[in-house]
Amino acid sequence: MSDAGLPARRAALAALTAVDEDDAYANLAVPAAVDRLDAARDRAFASHLAYDTLRWEGTLDWALQQVLTRPLDAVEPALRRILRLGALQLLRTSVPSRAAVSTSVALAREVVPRNRAKGAGGFVNGVLRNLDRRRDTLPWPDADAEPVTALALTTAHPEWVVSDLLHRYGLERTRAILEADDAPPGVTLRATGDRDALVAELRDAGLDARPGSLPESVRVPGADPRRLDAVRDGRAAVQDEASMQVARATGAGPGERVLDLCAGPGGKSAHLAALVGPAGRVVAVELHPHRAKLVEQAAARLGVDVDVHVGDATRPPLPAQERYDRVLLDAPCSGLGTGRRRPEVRWRRRPADATELAGVQRRLLDAAAERVAAGGTLTYAVCTWTAAETEQVAAWFDDAHGSGFEPGERRQLLPDADDTDGMYVATWRRRDQPDP
């Protein structure tokens, strides 16, 4: 590959910059950047480079540090992103070394002021050529002597995430979870009408569509949902099966009253509205106005009614006496379970985040519990797998509210066994009368 591949790499770099500087999610930043490319092949290549550079960031940084004479953190951010992009091509693709290096040098000369362009290009050229020479002799840690570090580098996850899983699942299962978390997910749709008719429609369009594991789910690997008529027309919603499992875990049925707390961006709210039907009622509370707007838009696009309120879920802006048959708290969390679609999240989080978020989650559960009618259910969901935010929060609720709530199903969905996001779901039923 020659410099003709520069536009695709330029688009990949634009996506990396948006994630890095604008705090954008990869699943939004990457499509926005690569859509500017004319050729489908270039779009696919740019997407692959961007997602995998984000996914393997920690490992790429480690490899680059082996050949740098100064800390990688001391390299200016724009050149650091270019080095990662070049290192990915050298270490994890079949791109010829000359193309990986020359295009990286060209990018470096583009992103710095003209008076520094030559020096920036020379710096990137020297680092990547050195890495290319040494890539077969990098000092990878011994898996027996340093199992956590070795697994972290070979599966592209922070060591604290590896350790958290190892304590509960053991080495082989942890490896399977993390490797599955590195596999790009296919597209999953929730059919809003006849699921079999949707599958047939997608197959007629030449797509490899097949029924999912839920009555409303459809797997469409390789599809671009933005180009699907069914999604545009509201006959399908892009939604991971883990999110569908959460809505179903509430037990919501026709005619019931449902409260969805922390509801943005609205996929679960719309699903709940479909489950309760026109005779039921779904009330959604979302703290951030722009996310509340997304809930309204999702409901309108999918043809369901959701009563949306902007407010703090610890003090919902609702009449004090209102109680609901089903209450869902899809709580703010570390988001590690979304790593297949948002690989940058794993590098943004620190161990203390899970502990701090668990405190928020407990406060939200206290408030959610007050809104459950006698005999109704409370469902807690987080798109993560840390012990602090999942089983430990559920155990805390059992202790704090055991007199009023009876424990129900507990489930940790994981990408290796379930081919979904890493979602934790716990349910409780409010007793008709508290235990004496």
Using alpha carbons, list the distances in angstroms from residue 232 to 141, 210, 224, 225, 226: 49, 20, 12, 9, 7
CA-angle at 200, arms to 196 and 206, nearest 5° = 145
Question: Shortest CA distance to 285 belongs to which of 334, 333, 318, 322?
Answer: 318
Centre a 10 Å sphere on the Cβ of residue 403 and count the other Cβ atoms it contains.
10
Tell me if 19 sits within 8 A of 114, measured CB to CB. Answer: no
Secondary structure (3-state) at 30 = helix
What is the residue type of 246?
Answer: V
Residue 191 forms beta bridges with which residues?
Answer: 236
Question: Shortest CA distance to 54 belongs to which of 347, 335, 351, 334?
Answer: 347
| H-only helix segments in 72-194 | 77-92, 97-111, 114-134, 147-155, 159-181
Which of the following is catalytic: 383, 413, 414, 426? 383
Question: Shortest CA distance to 339 belongs to which of 79, 192, 119, 162?
Answer: 162
Tell me if 40 sits within 8 A of 29, measured CB to CB. Answer: no
Euclidean distance between CA atoms 264 and 62, whole angstroms: 36
- 262 as an active site residue: the answer is no
Secondary structure (3-state) at 362 = helix
Euclidean distance between CA atoms 172 and 155, whole angstroms: 12
Query: Which of the residues are catalytic?
Result: 383
